[in-house]
Structure 1
Amino acid sequence: MTTVRFLREDESPPTQSNWVLIELTGPVWVVNSATYTDDVVPSDPIGPFHTRGDAVKAATDLAQEVGIDVVYVRGPLSELPSMNATGKKEQL
């Protein structure tokens, strides 16, 4: 099961774990599929997506495919679920 955690736009994901990051870029969401283990393993962004839900679906599909357990969604508080804007976990 993939865990989705929400970050404010001024927060960063941890540097010592595997993750997939979704960010709001202008009017669209982009899945930044860079993951961290001992080394940075960058890859091309996926998107754009016009809804956060579509981006989360793409990110969780990617995470499950490559064995990553956490997807971070980073954006302004107005774009994040109010009950999860402080980083509270949401299970998909």
Structure 2
Amino acid sequence: VRTLAKIRKPLESANLIPVQNGIINLETKELLPFSPKYVITSKISTAYHAPKRVPTDREGKTFDDWLNSIACNDSELVTLFW
């Protein structure tokens, strides 16, 4: 069997991170499915979930923008509000 099996090197890319539910491509920020194309010897036991879009109001401002405006851009005060 050893003479018939191909020897392949494990995944050694700094841009591909194996996680519980697939492989994260750090360049494209997408989750790839596991594939025989990649030889993986270990993975992070946490599942990856793509970041959600931050909601905005009608003017395009986020909740953080609003907090900064009422706190006069004081980061300590914003932290206190959170």
TM-score normalised by structure 2 residue count: 0.23
Determine which structure has the larger helix proportion and give its number.
1
TM-score normalised by structure 1 residue count: 0.22
Highest relative contact order (Cα 8 Å, sep 6+), 1 or 2?
A: 1
Bigger Rg, structure 1 or 2: 2
